[in-house]
Amino acid sequence: MFTGIVTDIGEIIELEQRGDLRARIKTAYPTADIALGASIACDGVCLTVIELGDDWFEVEISAETISKTIIGYPGQNRESVAWNVGRNVNLERALRVGDELGGHIVSGHVDGVAQIVQLEVVGDSTEVLLEAPKELAKYIAIKGSVTLNGTSLTVNKVDGNCFGINFIPHTKTVTTWGQMELGDAVNIEVDTLARYVDRLHAAL
């Protein structure tokens, strides 16, 4: 379980296909405090640590995860991996009992891929318009929460399948959002509460 509050920007330093894809990610986290088998959200994808170094950890990524996230975007196969060596990724360690819940409840189970369709600088902030898959758009509401590349964000506007987010300078500095460009694809996880509300409504 996570909160969507990014605590480090990692860098992919190695990718290797060994049946599943293995990724080595450089981090500022003290790796002596990370246990093998621990969960770390990488661009919002909950991945399991399988190996550790002085300043890196390694994760294994299944074909199913690759097909459902930006790791394999565009396309639906292992050969279309969008992650590459040198890419920066948002990182968050799993929530511990007693930690501050600064964002919202995030599972790390990505629902799909959204795409940036508009970027506009307004003052020091950046307004971003994204298009969500049609089947996920119904879960996105104005002033509701959404997780994009592992970042807990508030929705400012909704227009059909598109929704708007405002990024303040701080968010752009401490996450990879300062590097995003028009047309980029991002992992999206909708608010769990919205899913339950929809399920209960359908059952009535």
Residue 147: which CATH number?
Answer: 2.40.30.20
Answer yes or no: is 105 within a domain.
no
In a domain, residue 122? The reply is yes
Q: What is the pLDDT of residue 100?
A: 72
Does 167 share its domain with 123?
A: yes
Q: What is the pLDDT of residue 78?
A: 44
Within-domain flag for 80: yes
- Can you give the chain as a three-state secondary structure string? CECCCCCEEEEEEEEEEECEEEEEEECCCCHHHCCCCCEEEECCEEEEEEEECCCEEEEEECHHHHHHCHHHCCCCCHHHCCCCCCCEEEEEECCCCCCCCCCCCECCCCCEEEEEEEEEEECCEEEEEEECCHHHHCCCCCCCEEEECCEEEEEEEEECCEEEEEECHHHHHHCHHHHCCCCCEEEEEECHHHHHHHHHHHHC
Residue 121 lies in a domain: yes
Is 77 within a domain?
A: yes
Q: Which of 62, 93, 124 is the last residue of a domain?
A: 93
- Say whether both 80 and 143 belong to one domain: no
In the chain, the number of structural domains is: 2
pLDDT along the chain (204 residues), means of 10: 95 92 97 97 97 98 92 57 90 83 86 95 95 95 95 96 97 95 94 70 66
pTM of the predicted model, to two decimals?
A: 0.91
For residue 104, is it within any domain? no
Domain residue limits at 68: 8-93
Same domain flag for 14 and 68: yes
Question: For residue 42, is it within any domain?
Answer: yes
Same domain, 21 and 86: yes
Residues 121 and 190 in one domain: yes
